[in-house]
Structure 1
Amino acid sequence: MDRSLNNCRILMLHGSSDLYGASKMFLLSIKSLQSKGAEVIVVLSEYGPLVDELNLLQVDLHIYKLGIIRRKYFNAKGLLNRLLTIRRAKAYLSKMVSEKKIDLIYSNTSAVLVGGWVAKKMKIPHVTHLHEIIKSPNWLRKFLGKMINYTSSKVLAVSQAVKENWGDVIAVEKIELVYNGIDQSKYLQSGNQLRNELSKPTDSTILIGMVARVNQWKGQNYFLDIAKILSHEHDNLHFVIAGDAYPGTEYLVDELILALRKSGIENQITYLGYRSDVEAILSGLDIFVLPSILPDPLPTTVLEAMASAKPVIATSHGGAKEMVLDGETGFLIPWDNAKKAASILSILINNPQKRVAMGKAGRDRVLEHFSIQAYLENFSYAIYKTLVK
C-alpha cells in the first residue's frame, strides 16, 4: 500500500517552545511527515529553543498567540483573555488554511484547542495528540475532552494510561495508541562530563538525579524528601536536579532553591537549572529517578535514561508502568511514601552489579519497543489513515 503524503499540506500547532518531552516528540512528528513527502507548516505561540530546531528542519514557521490553556488562566480575567486570544487565533489560522490550502490540522497536546475549531469551520480533518493525564479538576478534563471529541477526526494517545484517562469523554474508536520513540544514538555514549562539572563528588560517589520541568506535580520536593532520608543512611551520595519552570511560574524555581538551602543536605544536592545536554547529564548519573506525584503520561526522560543504560526509579502510576519493568529495568515506588521509596532506592545504592544489569535491560527494552523507527512509521501512518478516509 502506498502511504505517501506527497502534496499534502499539514498545519501543526504546538503550545510550547521549549525542548522538553512533548516538544521533542513534536520534532519527531514533523520528521515523520516530511519523510513521507508532506509539506509542514508550524505555528507556535512564542519564541524559544524549539524555534532553532524547527529552522533546521526547514519548516514554514509562524509565531502567533494560539490561546494555550494553562492553569494560570483559571480566573475571570484569565478566561476572558483566553477567549479573546483564541478568537483572534481562529481568524488568523482560518486565513492561513485557506491561503495555503491546508489538508489537515494537527494539534499537539490538549492545551491547543483553536486548531480543532478552525478545522471544523474549514471542513478538514483534525488530529489531536494527547500527551497528558488530567485527574483534577475533573470539570476541566471533561470540558477539554468534549471539545476534542467534537472537533477531532482522530486522537493519538502516547500511552494506555492516557487513553484510559480520556476514554469516558472521547469516543474510544477515535483514540489510537502510538507510543513515543526516541533517537537512541545520542544516549549510547558514556562520559564523565557531569561528574567533572560537579567537581565535589569522588569516583566512588553515587550520582542520583532527575530531569523534569519544575512544577507542582513533577515531584522535585518529593525527590528532596527521599534524598534527605538517603543522605542519613549513606555517606557516598550526591543528588542532581535539572529543569526549569514554565514562563510565568519562575517562582517555583525560587521556592525549590530555597527548599534546597533549608534541606540540611545543601552540599549533597545540586540544582542545574535548564540544560540542553540531557544526554550528558544522564550519562553521568548512576541512578535516574522520576518522582512524579501525579500520573505522568509517557515521560520521555524515562526512555532517555533507559537508552543511557541507567536503572530507572519511577513512581508507580501513569505511563511509567508501561515503560519500567519493575525489578528488571528498575523499580516502581509509591508517590506518597518517601521512606519506602528510599528503602527501594537503597537496593540499587548497595548493589552496583544490579545497577549495571538493570541499565542494560532498560536499554534493550527501549531499542525493542520504543525505537524512533517505529514511532516515525506509526505516526505518519496514523495521519495517512486520517487523510485517506
Structure 2
Amino acid sequence: MAGEADLRPLIALVDESSKMAGVEFSTLYLAQHIDRSRYRVVVICPEEGDLPARCRAAGVEVVIEPAPRFMSTSIEIGRVYVPNPLSWGVNLLRLIGLASRHAALYRRLDAALICTKGVFAHLYGTLAARIARRPAVIHMQDLLANPLYIRVFGTFARLARRVIADGTPIRDQLAPFVGADRVDLIYNGVDLEQFSTAVSGEGVRAEWGIDSDTVLIGNVARLTSWKGQDVLLKAFIRLAPDYPKTKLVLVGSPVFHGDAFEAELRRLAAESGFSDRMIFAGFRWDLPEVLAALDIFVYPSIRKDTSPLSLVSAMASGLPLLTSDVGGVAELLTHTEDGLIVPAADVNALGSALRQMLDNPDLRQRLGAAARRTAERSLSLSIFARQCESAFERAKL
C-alpha cells in the first residue's frame, strides 16, 4: 500500500574515503549486491567524489557526512614507516567530534547495523555505533604493521559485534582482541560476468600500440612502495634484452600518497634503456578491458596485502598469475596449480618465474584457466555478498 512503512533493516556502509581504491570498490560492490529484498542500504562518505557518484549511478543511496582531515599516523622514511606521535592527539580530538556527529546520523537514519570500511572509519564508526547503541561490523581490509597501532585498533575493535577479515593474516591479528569466534574470514569477490575471458582487450592493446605478437606483462595496483612495482620493473629490465617481444604496463596512481614513488619508477624506466617498452597507464575505469589486454598478470607486493581486488579480478579474467608470498595474497592461489608464487621483494625469483611463463605458453594457458575456475568456485560477488549478510545477521543477535 502507498505510504506503508519500509520494514527492511537499513545497513549503513561507512567509508572513510570518497576516492576509489580497493576498499572503496569493495564498498561499491557490496552496496550493489546486498539482497534488496531483505535490506535497505546507504553508503556514508566524507565528501563528494567518485565513490558517491558511482553509488548513485548504481541506484544506491548516499549520505555525505563531512569529516576532518586526519593526520597520517606514520611517516615513510625510505622504505620504513615510523610512528608519527603528533598525529595521535590531533586525530583523537577530531575522531571524538566526528564520532558524535556520526552517532546522531545513525539515529536519524534509524540504521539497523553499521559496517565500517577503512581504518579511520573503523575507529570513529564503531565508537559512534556504540554511542548510538547500534551493532557494528568492522570490514577490515588493512593488515597493520606497528605493534602500537595493533593494540590501539584492537581496543576499538572490541566495540564491534563482529569483524570481517579479508585474509587470514588480518583474522589472526585481530582474533586475540575480539575472540576468534567473532571474526569472519571473507575474501573479496568480483562480478564473474564483468571480469571474464569473454571480454575483449583489443581496443586497449590498440590504444597502447601493442601488436598481437607482443606478450604484455601487467600490474594493476595503487602506486605505493609496499605494492612492489619497483621489484617488477627491475625484473623486467633484466629480462628485456632476451625477450624483445615483451612489454610492461603499470596501471594505477598514487591515490592517497604523493607521487615520489611514481617518480622513482619513471626514473628507473628512463635509465634502463627500455622505456619505450614500458607503459605508465595511470588510473583506469575500464579494468575488465585492461585485464583482457594482458597476457601475464604480476602482483609483487612486498608486505601486508590480503585479498586485493585487482588480483581477484585478474583471476576471474582467466589470466596467468605471478604473485609474491606476502600476507594473504598467496592463500588465494596454489603454487603451480593456478598461479606461480615467489618470495616477496626478490627480483631474481620474480624474473626467473617470468622467464618460465614467457618460455611456456601452454603453462600460461593452464594457469589462467585454473585461476578462472578458482574464482568461480570461491571469489564471486554473490558469494561475497551472502557471506557478508550472514556476518551482519550474526552481529544483530
TM over 0.5, shorter chain: yes
Give the residue type in structure 2 aligned to 1:239: L
Is the Cα contact below 8 Å between 1:66 and 1:114 reproduced in 2?
no
Aligned to 2:62: 60
Question: Over aligned residues, Cα RMSD in angstroms?
Answer: 2.0
In 2, Cα distance between the equivalents of 1:287 and 1:68?
38
Q: 1:58-106, CA deviations, whole angstroms, 9 ceiling, x for partnerless residues?
A: 3132141166574458535433432232122122112212222222211
In 1, Cα distance between the equivalents of 2:97 and 2:42?
19
Q: 1:197-231, CA deviations, whole angstroms, 9 ceiling, x for partnerless residues?
A: 111x4322110010000112001111111111121
CA drift at 1:166: 2.5
Aligned to 1:106: 115
Is the Cα contact below 8 Å between 1:43 and 1:64 reproduced in 2?
no
Is the Cα contact below 8 Å between 1:105 and 1:124 reproduced in 2?
yes
Range that drifts further, 269-278 or 229-238: 229-238
| Pair 1:261 & 2:267 matched | no
Stretches of structure 2 that go unaligned for 5 or more consecutive residues are 1-5, 76-82
| Pair 1:157 & 2:159 matched | no
In 2, Cα distance between the equivalents of 1:307 and 1:247?
27
Is the Cα contact below 8 Å between 1:31 and 1:376 reproduced in 2?
no
Aligned to 2:136: 126
Aligned to 2:49: 48
Aligned to 2:358: 349
Range that drifts further, 113-122 or 280-289: 113-122
Structure 1 residues 50, 350: closer, same or farther in 2, change over 3 A? Answer: same
In 1, Cα distance between the equivalents of 2:12 and 2:359?
51
Q: 1:283-335, CA deviations, whole angstroms, 9 ceiling, x for partnerless residues?
A: 01100000001031111111111111110100012222221221121200111
CA drift at 1:34: 4.8
Is the Cα contact below 8 Å between 1:133 and 1:297 reproduced in 2?
yes
Aligned to 1:313: 322
CA drift at 1:384: 1.7
In 2, Cα distance between the equivalents of 1:248 and 1:343?
31
Aligned to 1:176: 184
Aligned to 1:96: 105
Is the Cα contact below 8 Å between 1:9 and 1:102 reproduced in 2?
yes
Aligned to 1:192: 202
Indicate the SS of the match to 1:184: coil
Structure 1 residues 248, 45: closer, same or farther in 2, change over 3 A? Answer: farther
Q: Percent identity?
A: 23
Aligned to 1:23: 24
CA drift at 1:37: 3.2
In 2, Cα distance between the equivalents of 1:14 and 1:291?
27
In 1, Cα distance between the equivalents of 2:176 and 2:152?
12
Structure 1 residues 78, 247: closer, same or farther in 2, change over 3 A? Answer: same
The aligned length equals 381
Alignment TM-score, normalising by the size of structure 2: 0.90
1:325 to 334, 349, 354: 334
In 2, Cα distance between the equivalents of 1:36 and 1:162?
31
Give the residue type in structure 2 aligned to 1:349: L
In 2, Cα distance between the equivalents of 1:122 and 1:385?
19
Give the residue type in structure 2 aligned to 1:175: V
Structure 1 residues 183, 82: closer, same or farther in 2, change over 3 A? Answer: same
Q: 1:94-124, CA deviations, whole angstroms, 9 ceiling, x for partnerless residues?
A: 2212222222211113332101111112222
